[in-house]
Amino acid sequence: MPDSIKKSLRKYFIMGSQNCTRNPVEILEAAVEAGITAFQFREKGEGSLKGEAKIELGKQLQAVCHKAGIPFIVNDDVELVDLLDADGIHVGQDDQSAQDLRKVFPNKWIGLSVSNANELENSPLAYVDYIGAGPIFHTSTKTDAKAAVGLKWISTLRREFPSLPIVGIGGITTENAASVMEAGADGVSIITAITRAENIERAVKLL
Ligand SMILES: Cc1ncc(COP(=O)(O)OP(=O)(O)O)c(N)n1
Ligand SMILES: Cc1nc(C(=O)O)sc1CCOP(=O)(O)O
Ligand SMILES: [Mg+2]
């Protein structure tokens, strides 16, 4: 099981309509065509859709993932995971606890953000399928992101947990993605380097 998750985390695209300057469905289709291996619907923050509009976009993006056979993960929103029967959920340290989520979703992927040793110590890793480690580099995409933790955080996690699926996130680009993998990550999570790419196919291939 961890091996198939690791494979799926390799090019993990995250996006919501607030990250897009054109149709999000077309952006996801282009990214899928170019070879992303998983997708997280993160409709959150300024300019994001709410209520029915969010659900409708989620359904459309999920259909693109289903057609391509890649996992469709929902960020934060437990009700939406349930409603759409998503493949998994990603939560942070201040969101619903992974332990509680595991009771509700015994067979779905649960991803948890872990940014430092203190969070790691307090994280219920037994209930988690993968860790999102970051922000590795500076990012302006998440307004409440912590200070960049650097590649060392990935190598520390990898040393302590040799078989745990780990994905790096935050400020990852076509130029620095290889360094994240070399530090020990199983994959890279990206928003801007894909949503704002002049050529999505080229960007995903370079990643
Ligand atoms: C793969 C991945 N890693 C980390 C995050 C960040 O989650 P969180 O800390 O809950 O912050 P928000 O994304 O909810 O703003 C993520 N979404 N995905
Ligand atoms: C959603 C998110 N979570 C982060 C974390 O550190 O937990 S950084 C981040 C934003 C990533 O966007 P970009 O690829 O544009 O830097
Ligand atoms: Mg969250």
Q: How far is the CA of 137 from the centre of ligand 2 (A)?
A: 9
88 lines ligand 1 (CB under 6 A): no
> Annotated active-site positions, please?
42, 113, 142
Question: Using 50, 70 and 90 to split pLDDT, how confident is the model at 3?
Answer: confident
Quick one: which atom of ligand 1 is closest to the CA of 132?
Answer: 3
Q: In CATH, what number is assigned to the domain containing residue 180? A: 3.20.20.70
pLDDT in tens, 66-99: 999 999 999 999 999 999 999 999 999 999 999 9
Question: How many domains does the chain fold into?
Answer: 1
Distance CA 16, CA 14 (A): 7
ipTM rounded to 2 decimals: 0.99
Domain with 78, as residue range(s), is 2-206
Q: Whose CA is closest to atom 8 on ligand 1?
A: 92
Q: What is the pTM of this model?
A: 0.98
User: Which residues line the annotated binding site for Mg(2+)?
Assistant: 76, 95
Cα–Cα distances (Å) from 57 to 35, 150, 172, 205, in that order, read 21, 34, 25, 26
Q: How far is the CA of 74 from the centre of ligand 3 (A)?
A: 10
Q: How far is the CA of 171 from the centre of ligand 2 (A)?
A: 7
pLDDT in tens, 138-178: 999 999 999 999 999 999 999 999 999 999 999 999 999 99
